[in-house]
Structure formats: structure tokens, C-alpha cells
Amino acid sequence: MTASWVQLLYLAASVLFILGLRGLSSPETARRGMFLAEVGMLLAIVGTLLHRDIISYEWIIAGFIVGSAIGTAMGLLIPMTKMPERIALSHAFGGLAAALVGISEYYRHGVELGSVKMGAIGFECVLGALTFTGSLMAFGKLQGLLTGVPVTYRGQNTSNISLFVVTFVLLAVLIVDPGRSPLFYGMLGLGFLLGVLMVLPIGGADMPVVISLLNSYAGLAASATGFVLSNNVLIIAGALDGASGFVLSILMSRAMNRSFGNVIFGAFGSTAESAAVAAGPAAVGVNEGTDADAAAVLEAAQSLIVVPGYGMAVAQAQHAVRELTEILEQHGTSIKYAIHPVAGRMPGHMNVLLAEADVPYDQLFDLEHINDEFGKTDVALVVGANDVVNPAAKTNPGSPIYGMPVLNVEQARTVIVLKRSMSPGFAGIENELFVRPNTLMVFGDAKKTLTRVIQQLKG
Amino acid sequence: MAPDVIFGVYIFLLAAFVGYQVISGVPPLLHTPLMSATNAISGISLVGSIVAAGAHYNAVSTALGFVAVTAATINVVGGFVITDRMLRMFKRKEKRRP
């Protein structure tokens, strides 16, 4: 096959990728869209296998077999609750692949590299390495292998920025003189180190932003690979991935009231400081209730809005939530779910968990579409959410989360909060919602509490 | 600067704009499938790895290429499998499982 045929296959693949992502604008068309993207991928791979430089296929096929086996097993076996971990790992693999191709190209050409190619390889390797270790760190934090608490030390930002500067100075020297291979491997090492240092100060609740950002970096690394290999489909697919991570980062940072610059430069220090404010429980004026109280309130309700948070994912309470709402629906209660953009550990986390539990997606509403409805609602049931329902974000300018868009749960006639204890959320701030007169606190594991409430309602 | 680099920058910028537009239209409901889908798509770096693994430039390139093919294939296959698994779960009320 001639080179122009391969280029046409790549062009078709690029168009199919864009159409595939276009399909994701609605759940109705999403699966068809993904099918188009899969066809595009197949075309691109077939086209590449016909590349004139390829003289033997044994290592390619071996890689396909090992990769497909691991990929399929991971794809089919990973539980939905582990989705943030899986996404973090896949960013790591993407970064690794990009970095390795870059190293291979450098090793092969070294001194002969032109300055533009060298620059592209440098970007590819640094971004790839940084995405690899950064994503592994994120994985470790999500999985609980590393502490989810932000790790901070004096001079952290200064030393991180200095390392960035050193990395780019090395890259600049290499662009002028590509033959200095010790500098290349030093730069690569710094890339790996930077990934670790960047994610170290980031706490669990900031994970949606970090995961989106790493998504963007993985895409940019793939795009840089395209520049290195003069391969347009790589440039396009990488740009799409980069744009997606970029859009999600903006949305997530907006939902946490962070400036975009704050996200780009990864300066997550501010919330880490506020964690120190964490005080003991202020058990003044808390209306503590039992599951029987909660069941009575729910039984009398005409309308219910469920507000899930990370606590629901931790307790794996999504099935119990769905069972409860089904029973209430049979009693004629209207059911809605209010999903805050940063509830959970990654964009869309709550939607996936609820979909897994068979909650129909027409019951799931975004912040801006549901916030006016709390005032007209009998009961808001908060399952393991904290900062995203803290009214202090609207009323207390001194609060670290002041200005963050939150769900107006306190406007509901009664608020039931299922929570482990009075401990403050990630931001380390008291939640005045918990001491409001119309709030009923039910302490304990959300899944167990819900199961008991369901028994009360059934009996 | 070489013309093919300028051309590449053109393509990158245009694709980034298209991506920005298309992805802004994805509802928050599907943000997790979006992440795993774009992840699978950026596994297209597979095409670079394939050439590195199969061209026998030298032993190091072949070895790195093999690892890169494996890593990228995990993303492509795993990414599409899991995206489809998630998308199958999103159902409207009337189509709910009996």
C-alpha cells in the first residue's frame, strides 16, 4: 500500500474519532459513537501495520496479545467503584507509551536530530514521564496505598518551580546541541520526579481536578509524539484528548471556585493549609435521629432529592439508595438526584455509580438544573456529601470554600444527612448545615443505615 | 522552520478547537465515559509504538517499542471495553431492566 493510502486511512480515523466523541453528547447516541471511534482505531492500526519500515511482526503481535489480555481483563473485571483508580492507571500507561517512543527515537537518532524534532521529543518525554509518575501517585492515593492527606513541606512550590525551570533549561540546551545524551536522560529523570512532586501535595477531594489535568497532559504527550513521528492522526487524537482534559479541568476548577491558573500550575497548597483548621466536633444543637425517624420523615414526603457524595461511594451505598427511592416511588413520592460536579473523585463519578445501580439517568440532575428546586422539596437526603452542601460557601466570606457553587439543600423542608460522624470534610471546616433546625443527622455507615430504613418502610 | 512542522501546528490547533467544541457539548452525566473514551483514543500512540517495535532499528528501540505497544494496547482495548460497559448502564426510566 502506498503512503498516500495510509494517510487516507489516518484521515478517516481522525474523522471517526471526532464523530465518536460527538456521539457522547447524549446517552442515546453514545454507544454508536464509540463504535465509530473503534472502527477509526482499527483503520489507523491496519494502516500502520503496512508501514514500510516494519520488517517483522513478532514483537508487535506479542505486545498486542499481552496488552489485549490485560486490557480486556481490566475492562471487564474492574468494579465501577474503582473507576477513578482505573482512569488514573490508564493515564499512566498513556504517558509511559509516549515517553518510551520518545526515548526510542532519541536513542535512534541522537546527534542527527534537528532542533524542532528534538524539541518535540523533549516535550513528549517530559510530559509522558510526568504523566506516568503523577498518575501512579494519584492511583496510590485513590487506592489508599499512599496517604490521601496532602503532603506539604516548606519551600515546596519554590523547589517544584525551580525543578521545572531546570528541566526546561536542559531541554533548551538539548535543542541547541542534541548530542548531549547525559542531559537528555537527566531531563527524563526530572520529568519522572516532577510527576511525583506535583501530586504529593494534592488531597483526595482535589482528585477530580488532578485526574482531568493528567488526562490533558497524556493527550499533549501523545500529540508531541505525533510531531516527532510526523504523524497527523497522532497529533489530532492527542489534541482531542488534551482538549477534553482541558475542558474537564476548567469545569472542575470552576465547580471548586479555583482560578484556572491555580489549576494549570498545580498550586493546590491553599486547601492544604485550611486542613489545619480542623477542629473537634461542635455537637451543639445537632438533631440526632435514628433510622426510624428518617423512615418516618421519608414516608411522609411527597418529593425527595437525593444528594450523593464520596461517602456513598466509600460505603458502596448506591444500590441501597436506589432500592429506597424505588420503594418511595411506589408510594408516589417524586424522586430526583442532585449531582454536584466535584462530588466523588473524578468527573461524572456519581453518575456512573448510580447508573450501575440502575438509577435511570433522567432522574439525575446537574447543579444548575436542580438548585432552584430544593425550596419546593419536602426532603433532601444527603448521602456522604459534605463540602458540596455547606451553606458557608454562600454566607461566610471567611470560609475557605466561600464562593464555591454548592447545592441549596438547606432550603428543603427537612434535610436528612447520613454521615459517619461529625468530623469535618476535606476542607476541614465545620458545616453549619448539620446544626440547622431542619436538619436530621443519622450517624453510621450509610449502607447499613439505608438498609434499616428500607426495612422500616417495608414493614 | 520546516514546513511540515508548521503544517503539524495547524492540524494541532484546528483539532484542539474542534475537540474543545465537541467536548463542551458532552453533558456532565457522561464525563467519566468521556474520560475513558478519550483515553482509549489517545492510545493511538500505539501507531508510533508499532513502528518502533517492528522496524528493528536496534535492540533498545525494539524493547522499548514492545513495552510501549503493550501499554498502548492496554489503553485502547481496556478503554473501549470499559467505556462500552459504562454506557450500557445508562438507561432511561422506561427502558429499565425488569
pLDDT tens digits, one per residue of A336-360 = 999 999 888 889 999 999 999 999 9
The percent of residues in chain B predicted with pLDDT above 90, rounded, is 54
CA-CA distance, A95 to A173, in Å (whole number)? 24
Q: How many CB atoms lie within 10 A of CB B78?
A: 28
Task: Say if CB A159 and CB A165 are below 8 A apart.
Answer: no
Q: How far apart are CA A201 and CA A220, in angstroms?
A: 23
pLDDT band at B3, cuts 50/70/90?
confident
Residue A271: per-residue pLDDT: 45
- Give the integer Cα–Cα distance in Å for A340 and A279: 26
- What ipTM, to 2 d.p.? 0.92
What gap in Å lies between CA B35 and CA A178, rounded to an integer?
Answer: 36
B43-82 residues touching A, CB cutoff 8 A: 43-58, 60-62, 64-82
Per the CB < 8 A criterion, the answer to whether A205 and A427 are in contact is: yes
For residue B49, list chain A residues with Cβ-Cβ distance below 8 A: 63, 97, 100-101
Nearest to A24 among B17, B26, B93 (CB): B26
Q: Are B68 and B49 in contact (CB under 8 A)?
A: yes
Alpha-carbon distances, residue A227 vs A121, A200, A325, B74 (angstroms): 8, 31, 52, 23
User: Which residue in B has a C-alpha nearest to residue A117's C-alpha?
Assistant: B5
**CB-CB under 8 Å, A348 with B77:** no
Yes or no, beta carbons of B53 and A59 under 8 Å apart: yes
Enumerate the domain spans of chain B.
28-89
> DSSP states of A13-64 as a string?
HHHHHHHHHHHTTSHHHHHHHHHHHHHHHHHHHHHHHT-TT----HHHHHHH
- Would you state the pLDDT for residue A427? 54
**Which is it for strands A364-366 and A379-383: parallel, antiparallel or unpaired?**
unpaired
Contact by Cβ (8 Å): B8, A226:
yes
Domain map (residue ranges) of chain A: 1-77, 88-274, 291-458
Q: Is B14 helix (H, G, I), strand (E, B) or coil?
A: helix
Ranges under pLDDT 50 in chain A: 267-283
Taking Cα atoms as reference points, which of A257, A193, A242, A205 lies closest to residue A84?
A: A205
Judged by a CB distance cut-off of 8 A, whether residue B98 touches chain A is: no
Contact A111, A148 (CB under 8 A): no
DSSP string, B45-76: GHHHHHHHHHS-S-HHHHHHHHHHHHHHHHHH
Question: What grid cell was written down for B6?
Answer: 508548521
d(CA B62, CA B48): 12
Could you give the C-alpha distances from B69 to A96, A288, A338, in angstroms and in order?
10, 56, 41
User: 457539548: which residue's cell?
Assistant: B25
What is residue A386's predicted lDDT score, i.e. its pLDDT?
85
Structural contact between residues B26 and A29, judged by C-beta atoms closer than 8 angstroms: no
Count of Cβ atoms closer than 10 Å to residue A442 Cβ: 23
Q: Which of residues 4-43 of B touch A (CB under 8 A)?
A: 4-5, 8, 11-13, 15-20, 22-43
Is A445 labeled as catalytic in the residue annotation? no
Burial A259-296 (b: 16+ CB within 10 A, else e): eeebbeebbbeebbebbeeeeeeeeeebbebbbebbbb
pLDDT digits (tens, 9 = 90+) for A32-66: 999 999 999 999 999 888 877 788 888 899 999 99
Instruction: Give the C-alpha separation, A38 to A60, whole Å.
Output: 19
Residue of A nearest to B27 (CA): A25
Burial A345-359 (b: 16+ CB within 10 A, else e): bbbbbbbbbbbbbeb
**Residue to test with chain B: of A35, A181, A240, A335, most B Cβ within 10 A:** A240
Contact A417, A434 (CB under 8 A): yes
User: A291-458: which CATH topology?
Assistant: Rossmann fold (3.40.50)
DSSP, collapsed to helix, strand or coil, labels residue A443 as strand
Residue B14 has a CB neighbour count (10 Å cut-off) of 13
